Amino acid sequence: MRQGPHQVAQKSTIASPWLFSMSSAKLSSVTVRTRSLILADLLDPGPGSFVRWERKRCTALPCFPGFQSITESRPVMEFDPAAGPVDPSPTLPRYPVDHVGIAVHSIAESAPLFETLTGERASPRQSLPEHGIDVCFIGAVELLEPHDRGGAVARFLAAGGSNLHHVAFRVENVRVELDRLIAAGFRAIDRTPRPGAHGGLVAFLHPKGTGGALVELVERAQPFSAP
């Protein structure tokens, strides 16, 4: 019988990630002690849930007689009501994904990698003073480089380095859809849309209403990729 994530959290114990760097011969001899660990529960823990890894010391596995102890990690499924997404409404339209935003220290240094991965050319670099960033698009990837050290993207980079910053969804009318989502219970960072890249309008939804993800609504005035 498939167990829920909370039962898995209480019973599951898996060996620490260093095991996965071993050779296949050694790895095959390691006993990874786990009880009913359902991978799907970790990849998709459900609304408002997240996985926290607890580390502890334990006795050595039998196949490593020379080790006195090893470190194990235990996935603990938790529920954070503050980060829980709003229940989807059947009256809301389906928004297609427009792009993903990645915060980088340097567009010039990062762009060649994403040009190689996507096969697309980088669009011209554009400055967005109201956001404190420069941006460019490579296919459906937006690179964000801060030029305001006190801005939100600069703080994001300082806290966690180059990383996924937001997911953007395309809408026909950002004002209409923002009002619709607020009425449905979503929290908005921007109550009024503001200018975005390439003459479009954007608005952001607060992560506390989207399961922890920063979501952008985008109304585009023109294509974002270079021809």
Does residue 85 sit within a domain?
Answer: no
Please state whether the predicted TM-score (pTM) of the whole model is above 0.85: no
Does residue 84 sit within a domain?
Answer: no
Does residue 225 sit within a domain?
Answer: no
Among 48, 79, 110, the domain boundary falls at 79
Neighbours of 189 (CB within 10 A): 13
Average of per-residue pLDDT across 74-80: 44
Average pLDDT of the residues of the chain: 73
Q: Which residue has the higher pLDDT, 12 or 219?
A: 219
How far, in Å, are 3, 80, 96, 137, 146 from residue 226 at the CA level?
Answer: 48, 41, 20, 8, 22
Alpha carbons 91 and 84: distance in angstroms, whole number: 20
Alpha carbons 41 and 1: distance in angstroms, whole number: 14
Averaging pLDDT over each range in 4-13, 19-28, 188-197, which range is the top one?
A: 188-197
Average of per-residue pLDDT across 32-52: 38
Which range is least confidently modeled, 21-35, 52-66, 67-81, 94-108?
A: 21-35
Is residue 119 located within the same domain as residue 202?
A: yes
Tell me, what's the pLDDT at 60? 44
Is residue 57 located within the same domain as residue 110?
A: no
Is residue 108 located within the same domain as residue 214?
A: yes
* Dihedral sign (CA 77, 80, 83, 85): positive
- Measuring CA to CA, which residue among 166, 167, 216 is closest to residue 195? 216
Q: Per the structure, how many domains does the chain have?
A: 2
Q: What is the pLDDT of residues 152-196, one digit of tens each?
A: 999 999 999 999 999 999 999 999 999 999 999 999 999 999 998
Averaging pLDDT over each range in 33-42, 94-103, 196-205, which range is the top one?
A: 94-103
- Measuring CA to CA, which residue among 167, 144, 142 is closest to residue 157? 144
Average of per-residue pLDDT across 212-226: 79
Find the DSSP H helices in the chain: 5-11, 24-29, 39-43, 107-118, 152-160, 174-183
* 125 has pLDDT over 80: yes
Alpha carbons 16 and 14: distance in angstroms, whole number: 7
* 27 has pLDDT over 90: no
CB 128, CB 197: distance < 8 Å: yes
Tell me, what's the pLDDT at 173? 94
Query: Any residues with CB less than 8 A from the CB of 21 and at least 6 apart, and which?
Result: none
**What is the domain-level CATH number for residue 195?**
3.10.180.10
CB 216, CB 169: distance < 8 Å: yes
Segments forming the whole domain that contains residue 43: 5-79
Average of per-residue pLDDT across 189-211: 91
